Amino acid sequence: MAEEIAVRFRVTGVVQGVAFRYYAQKTAYSLGVSGWIRNLRDGSVEGLAEGSKSGVNAFIEWCKKGPPSAKVEQVITEYVPFSNTEGFEIRR
């Protein structure tokens, strides 16, 4: 079985008002990644991505570009314990 990992992430730049969370959810589902994502008051987004090492790594790579209207400055990641989250939720 593929190694499963969990990564907490924060994305800075122009990442709110550009459908970042929607596209992230769509991308996560396509990669078999579970977790969540939400906007922060400082204009960044944060979340958790869990799944196969290759799926999570591909998701984080997507976050470095984001959707067409985004202007990503930085993606900060931290490995956290795997918690077997189901689905990929957009949190408010």
Q: Which of 8, 21, 38, 41 is catalytic?
A: 21
Q: Is 21 helix (H, G, I), strand (E, B) or coil?
A: helix
CATH at 69 = 3.30.70.100
56-74 per-position pLDDT tens digit: 999 999 999 999 999 999 9
Q: What is the pLDDT of residue 2?
A: 73
pTM: 0.96
Question: Averaged over 38-55, what is the pLDDT?
Answer: 98
For this structure, is 39 an active site residue?
A: yes
| Cα–Cα distance for residue pair 34/52, rounded to 1 Å | 10
**Beta partners for 47?**
9, 37
Choice among 8, 10, 39, 57 that is catalytic? 39
Q: Which domain holds residue 33?
A: 4-91
Q: How many domains does the chain have?
A: 1
